[in-house]
Every structure is written in C-alpha cells, then in structure tokens.
Amino acid sequence: MKLIKTNAIALTAAVLLTACGAGDKKENAEKVRNVMTVLPLNRQESVVKNFSGVVKENSTVSVSFRTPGQIMRILVKEGAHVRKGQLLATLDTKDYQLQVDAAQTQYDQLKNEVERLRKLHEANSLSGNDFEKATSGLEQLRIKLQNAKNQLSYTQLTSPVDGTVQKVNFDPSEMVSAGMPVMDILDIRNMEVEVNIPDDVYRLLFNTTEAYCIAAGERYNLHKKSVLAKADANQLFTVKYSIDGHLSAGVNVDVFIEMGGDVAVSGLSIPAHAVFEDGGKTYVWVVEENNIVKRHAITTNSVDSEGMAVVESGITATDRVVKAGVKALHEGDKVKIVTQKNTNVGDLL
C-alpha cells in the first residue's frame, strides 16, 4: 500500500510540472515585444583618404633694378606684405635726369628745325633727300630721348607680384649693378598645398572627385595642379594642389582626397545600433511575414560619421530592420512595430 501511495504522489507531481511547463511555453509564445524598424537607405559614398600636407609658396621672385646706380631709399622691411606695383626702393636719379634733359633739348631744337625745313620742302626750296635726312635725325633723337626716360624710370623698383618680402640684400647708399637681386619676394598670389601619397592612391588619382584641406578648423577647397610621376626614396608621389583662399607658407594641413568611380563604397545604410554580433558573425533582425523576426547575417563595410553602418550584403532595401529592442529578441519572436516618439532624441532607442 505504501508503494502505491508513493507512485501516486510522484505521478501527481509530474502532471503538475508538465502543466506548469506548458503554461510557461504558452505564455512565452503569446508574448509580443514592441520594436522600432527602419528601411535601409541606398547609398553611393566615396572613400576619403586623409594625408598630411604643407602649404608652400607658388614661387619666390628676386627683384632687381634694370639699371645700375646708388640706392637712395629702401621703402620696405623683411616680412612686409606688398602689393603688385608697390614702390620698393629707388636709385639716385640725378645723372639719369641730366641725360633726359640733354636729350629733350636736342630733340626740341631739331624738331623746330625740321618744321622750318618742312615749309621749304613744301615750297620746293629744299630737296626731298635733304628733308628725309632731317626727319631721320629727328627720329633718332626721339628714340634717344625715350631711352633716357626709360633709364630714369628704371631707378624705381616696384613689386611684380602680391607677396611678402623674404629678404633685403642691400642698404641705402650702396651701389648695385643692373640685374643684381635687391630683395626676394614670396609670391602669395597662388599658394599651393603639397602632399605625398602612396602608390595605391597615386594609381587611382584620376578617379578623385574632390580634394580639400583643413587648417585651424577651416575648410579650403583644393584643385590638382601637378603630379610627379616618380616616387621619392620613401615610395611616395608628390601632388600639388592650388588652394581657394590664403594660408601662410609652411603651415601644416590635413588633406582629404575623395576617391570616386570604382573606388566608391556602395551598399545600404542602417543605424549602427541595429547591428549585433553572435559567434563571430554580424547580424540584424528583420521583421518578416506575420510580424515574426528572423536574424539575417550581413556583411558591413564601415560606419560613417553619422553613425550609420554601411551594409554590403545580407539585406535588401525593402527589409524592415529592427533598430530598437535588438538585444531582447530571439529567433521567431512575434513583435509589434511601434512608431518613434519625438522624445527619442538622436534615434538612440
């Protein structure tokens, strides 16, 4: 009798446990979780390569007088900013002015004489040959006078470019010869950015769609000017860009080269927090028919600056990807799609 009673108790306990288990399974099966979903966005994004660059002057110009003489004044100092046409230095003009005055006197005298001979020639009192000799002599004096005036003008040295005076080589009262560099001016009309790039970027440089640099938090657009076809000792190729705007020579900048064409990254983008890993693989939850979730293995490329993951494969643009409630889901769960509230700042839920 005691054995029968014990078996009856065990049987009753098993029935109760089975009933409880069935109830739990039924409860789990009927539980519906709230989720938020998003449709993947099609994208075609260029790959941006980042390098260090340096701002350099377009050229350095050595300025000199076109005639010899004694320097009277130096009007600028090293480091001064100058404009094109600005007066930089002058020579002593006394001797050159005397040459102009003498040539002017000779010219004026012969000009009056030629006017008198012209009247005689018109009256047939002077042969054509004599009149031509007089006019030829007047033309020679005109050229002599103009040359003297040119030499006088050459005693003033002006800047050929907008730039900065890098070096002054003489002081007032010193003698200089024609063509001797008096000062060096850094040409700032077209500053350029020089950057060294590796071979893999050099071979794809024709695919670049845009380039820019960042200096002191400001962005400046760059335009490709030249590319050296030979690598240096470090196996780097030098590229020079003109720059929209002005930066001082020698400034280091961050250069960004945007690669287009076949180098561009294409795919779908979804919020990065919709992606999770399991067993070394990457997944997302997709809401399928009857609001049942199923995980899809995906391949990602990168995460952009806006926190969007670039997906190369595993989902389509029509898949409803769960972006909120990811961690609480299991394969086959039934879900209810809810809309995002305005209080969900930053799309973090």
Cα angle at 120 between 118 and 122, to 5 degrees?
A: 70
Distance CA 255, CA 250 (A): 14
Surface-to-core class of residue 287, CB atoms within 10 Å of its CB (0-12 exposed, 13-18 middle, 19+ buried): buried
Tell me, what's the pLDDT at 325? 77
Segment 319-329 shows an average pLDDT of: 87
pLDDT digits (tens, 9 = 90+) for 186-219: 877 778 999 999 988 888 777 777 899 999 889 9
The yes-or-no verdict on residue 284 having pLDDT over 80 is yes
pLDDT digits (tens, 9 = 90+) for 48-84: 789 999 998 777 899 999 999 999 999 999 989 999 9
Tell me, what's the pLDDT at 12? 47
Which structure tokens are listed for 319?
A: 């898949």
pLDDT digits (tens, 9 = 90+) for 221-266: 999 988 988 989 999 999 999 888 888 888 999 999 887 655 455 5
The mean predicted confidence, pLDDT, of the chain is 84
pLDDT digits (tens, 9 = 90+) for 127-178: 888 888 889 999 999 999 999 999 999 999 999 988 889 999 999 999 999 9
Between the alpha carbon of residue 94 and those of residues 4, 50, 60, 69, 90, the distances in Å are 142, 60, 32, 10, 12
Q: How many CA atoms lie within 13 A of 249 on its CB side?
A: 17
pLDDT tier for residue 278 given thresholds of 50, 70 and 90: confident
pTM of the model: 0.49
Tell me, what's the pLDDT at 261? 53
- CATH topology identical between 31-46+265-347 and 93-154: no
Tell me, what's the pLDDT at 56? 86
Nearest of 93, 90, 92 to residue 74 by alpha carbon: 90
| Of the candidate ranges 26-35, 42-51, 92-101, 333-342, the one whose mean pLDDT is the lowest | 26-35
Class (C level, CATH) for 93-154 = mainly alpha
The yes-or-no verdict on residue 11 having pLDDT over 50 is no
Q: What fold does the segment set 31-46+265-347 form as a domain? A: 2.40.420
pLDDT tier for residue 10 given thresholds of 50, 70 and 90: very low
Q: Domain ranges in the chain?
A: 31-46+265-347, 93-154
The yes-or-no verdict on residue 16 having pLDDT over 90 is no
The yes-or-no verdict on residue 94 having pLDDT over 70 is yes
Name which residue leads in pLDDT, 280 or 91: 91
